[in-house]
């Protein structure tokens, strides 16, 4: 949806009006169809790398809570504003793959140390005896089924069993075979990569769809952020996921499961770009209250508020921008200047400062989108637009002169607004800054890590401005404007769908987007409803037939 690229306020205004008109016209013409899902479009089948949280959750689900994961995971690739889309582009360097080997060896070793193989093995293991072939086959079949998210093929089975037997013959330890069968599977591409498989659709030749196990995989990683459980795999095996009622039962089951929290956390942590916290640096002379605990707790605070509001309370997504209730730890209390009685852990509390409301006023947003030594109205403004409104802001011109923006305060230039004023006299800058700055300047009441302030360099901060036509005097007004911005729900819908399918949306999918947005609106902007709509839609499992779709360029060469 590149159409959201905006260059000026004027253009934005026109675009909004235009979209509105198109929407109205479309609504009249397709009155009878406005609640039905448009015909599926589909994109290419993807090869996605398991994310760290998905890897950890899978290991935990299959092998237990206390199994250590010792590898260090590579920094994810971000694409189209989501690591989930980047996961369809990431590869494995030798250094990255080594970490998975280390992790696999550690998991297998732990299971031996803890005597767990007895429970993992379908057959009874006589103590101290070499595990027989039948038992090895059963072990590989069962564990491989879970790890690969589909049945182990005969060739794979033969390979893993023969490797296990080689290990048994070479090493005189009773569990060597099981241990190395497991290491083989944990380093296999079928485990580390989600290779989506396609099968034709009976009644359409321009469209294909995911095979049953790939469907189960997409569903499970989307709604639970972990590998499919036994029940879902069984449903796939029986073809139940092709039957709408059965599919619906599984979707409901996953939406009711405790894993939904993890799925919602994974999505928002991705959307909010929390991965960037790993590299965030703050000047400790200017911000003595900032430390790694604050950085970690700040992310957790926002995710807790999101889960509490959206899942536990089934709240309106848009209210995240005006939420005053929050949960804090003592280190966060220092920065927010609020008492936190709980000595260790989280305490439900409420922001007292009138202008502190909404997740955009959390440290996790304010600190992340600031410079090491000062706040940045530009970074914050651009992030408000890109993260919450899906409006792309172009990169600055290459020859931009930052000296004025970075200079020390003078008699006339004291606040962030004063500094940015310099840009507005520069035609090559002013176009974009007029877009970026207002939603950033309103956050100037929060310093480079998010501490509240009334003044900067002695001058009172002017937080007023307008957001795409709605004027406000302070952040309270802005939060309302952001909450009511028509692009806010549209944006989360688009991002959620991209996240679910692992790729950017294509032009032809705009009607499907409109459909999702409309249902989201009708359902009171409930995030679980949106997830349900996506999971149950035909588009979700559809794959463009490579022979006819716009992805024809990617057709296979002969090997």
Interaction residues for another protein, span 48-87 (CB under 8 A): 52-53, 56, 61-65, 68-70, 72
Q: Does 554 bind another protein (CB under 8 A)?
A: yes
Q: Does 416 bind another protein (CB under 8 A)?
A: no
Quickly tell me which residue has 């209210």 as its tokens.
319
Long-range contacts of 323-327 (CB under 8 A, 24+ apart): 323/357, 323/358, 323/359, 324/350, 324/351, 324/356, 324/357, 325/349, 325/350, 326/301, 326/350, 326/351, 326/362, 327/301
Token pair belonging to 143: 């564990």
Cβ proximity to another protein, 319 vs 353, nearer residue = 353
Q: Which of 285, 395, 399, 411 binds another protein (CB under 8 A)?
A: 285
| Beta carbon of residue 98, minimum distance to another protein (angstroms, whole number) | 5
Q: How many residues does the chain have?
A: 559
Using CB under 8 A as the binding rule, the residues of this chain from 163 to 202 that contact another protein are 163, 166-167, 170-171, 173-176, 180, 183-184, 187-190, 192-193, 195, 197
Q: Which stretch binds another protein (CB under 8 A): 38-46, 216-224, 236-244, 373-381?
A: 38-46
Is 35 in contact with 28 (CB distance < 8 Å)?
no
What are the Cα distances from residue 144, in Å, to 24, 100, 139, 197, 509? 52, 17, 8, 17, 36
**What's the CA gap between 526 and 310, in Å, rounded?**
7
Q: Does 207 bind another protein (CB under 8 A)?
A: no
Token pair belonging to 84: 């989930």
Q: Which stretch binds another protein (CB under 8 A): 201-209, 289-297, 315-323, 432-440?
A: 289-297
Q: Which of 29, 35, 118, 407 binds another protein (CB under 8 A)?
A: 118
Q: Which of 334, 506, 513, 536 binds another protein (CB under 8 A)?
A: 334
| Beta carbon of residue 532, minimum distance to another protein (angstroms, whole number) | 26
Cβ proximity to another protein, 372 vs 396, nearer residue = 372
Is 359 in contact with 353 (CB distance < 8 Å)?
no
| Beta carbon of residue 457, minimum distance to another protein (angstroms, whole number) | 13
Q: Site mask, another protein, residues 358-397, x = CB under 8 A?
A: ----------------------------------------
| Beta carbon of residue 189, minimum distance to another protein (angstroms, whole number) | 6
What separation, in Å, do the N-terminal and C-terminal C-alpha atoms of the chain show? 34
Is 362 in contact with 486 (CB distance < 8 Å)?
no
Is 379 in contact with 477 (CB distance < 8 Å)?
no
Token pair belonging to 56: 């950890």
Q: Which of 112, 404, 422, 513 binds another protein (CB under 8 A)?
A: 112
Is 210 in contact with 541 (CB distance < 8 Å)?
yes
Using CB under 8 A as the binding rule, the residues of this chain from 292 to 321 that contact another protein are 292-293, 296-297, 299-300
Q: Which of 54, 227, 329, 545 binds another protein (CB under 8 A)?
A: 329
What are the Cα distances from residue 486, in Å, to 332, 429, 465? 32, 27, 18
Using CB under 8 A as the binding rule, the residues of this chain from 85 to 104 that contact another protein are 89-98, 101-102
Using CB under 8 A as the binding rule, the residues of this chain from 120 to 159 that contact another protein are 120-124, 127, 138, 142-143, 146, 155-156, 159
Q: Which of 331, 431, 465, 477 binds another protein (CB under 8 A)?
A: 331
Q: Name beta bridge partners: 543.
A: 43, 208
Cβ proximity to another protein, 36 vs 95, nearer residue = 95
């Amino acid at each position: 949806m590149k159409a959201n690229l905006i260059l000026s306020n004027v253009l934005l205004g026109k675009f909004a009006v235009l979209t509105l008109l198109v929407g109205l016209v479309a609504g009249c013409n397709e009155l009878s169809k406005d609640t039905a899902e448009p015909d599926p479009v589909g994109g290419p089948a993807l090869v996605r790398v398991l994310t760290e949280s998905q890897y950890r959750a899978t290991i935990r689900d299959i092998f237990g809570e206390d199994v250590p994961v010792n590898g260090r995971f590579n920094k994810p690739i971000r694409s189209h504003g989501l690591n989930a889309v980047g996961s369809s582009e990431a590869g494995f360097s030798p250094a990255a793959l080594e970490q998975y080997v280390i992790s696999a060896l550690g998991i297998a070793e732990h299971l031996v140390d803890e005597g767990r193989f007895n429970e993992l093995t379908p057959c009874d293991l006589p103590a101290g005896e070499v595990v027989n072939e039948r038992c090895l086959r059963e072990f590989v079949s069962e564990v491989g089924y879970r790890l690969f998210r589909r049945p182990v093929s005969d060739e794979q089975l033969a390979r893993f069993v023969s490797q296990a037997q080689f290990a048994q013959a070479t090493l005189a330890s009773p569990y060597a075979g099981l241990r190395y069968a497991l290491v083989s599977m944990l380093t296999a591409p079928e485990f580390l990569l989600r290779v989506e498989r396609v099968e034709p659709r009976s009644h359409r030749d321009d469209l294909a769809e995911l095979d049953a196990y790939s469907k189960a995989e997409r569903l499970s990683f989307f709604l639970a952020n972990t590998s499919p459980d036994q029940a879902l795999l069984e449903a796939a095996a029986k073809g139940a996921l092709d039957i709408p009622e059965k599919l619906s039962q599984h979707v409901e089951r996953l939406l009711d499961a405790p894993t939904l929290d993890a799925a919602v956390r994974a999505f928002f942590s991705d959307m909010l770009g929390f991965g960037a916290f790993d590299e965030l640096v703050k000047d400790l002379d200017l911000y003595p209250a900032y430390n790694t605990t604050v950085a970690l707790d700040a992310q957790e605070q926002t995710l807790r508020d999101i889960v509490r509001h959206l899942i536990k309370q089934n709240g309106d997504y848009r209210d995240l921008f005006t939420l005053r209730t929050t949960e804090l730890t003592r280190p966060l209390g220092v920065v927010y200047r609020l008492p936190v009685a709980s000595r260790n852990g989280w305490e439900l509390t409420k922001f007292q400062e009138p202008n502190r409301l909404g997740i955009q006023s959390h440290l996790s947003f304010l600190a992340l989108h600031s410079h090491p030594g000062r706040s940045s109205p530009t970074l914050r403004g651009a992030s408000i637009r890109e993260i919450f409104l899906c409006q792309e802001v172009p990169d600055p011109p290459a020859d931009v002169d930052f000296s004025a923006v970075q200079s020390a305060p003078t008699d006339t230039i004291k606040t962030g607004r004063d500094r940015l004023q310099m840009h507005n006299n520069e035609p090559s800058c002013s176009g974009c800054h007029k877009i970026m700055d207002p939603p950033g300047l309103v956050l100037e009441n929060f310093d480079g890590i998010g501490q509240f302030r009334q003044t900067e360099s002695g001058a009172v901060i002017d937080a007023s401005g307008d957001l795409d036509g709605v004027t406000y005097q302070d952040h309270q007004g802005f939060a309302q404007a952001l909450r009511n911005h028509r692009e806010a729900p549209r944006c989360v819908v688009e991002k959620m769908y991209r996240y679910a399918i692992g790729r950017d949306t294509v032009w032809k999918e705009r009607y499907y987007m409109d459909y999702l947005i409309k249902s989201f609106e009708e359902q009171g902007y409930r995030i679980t409803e949106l997830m349900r709509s996506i999971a149950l839609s035909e588009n979700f499992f559809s794959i463009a037939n490579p022979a006819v779709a716009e992805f024809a360029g990617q057709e296979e060469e002969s090997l």
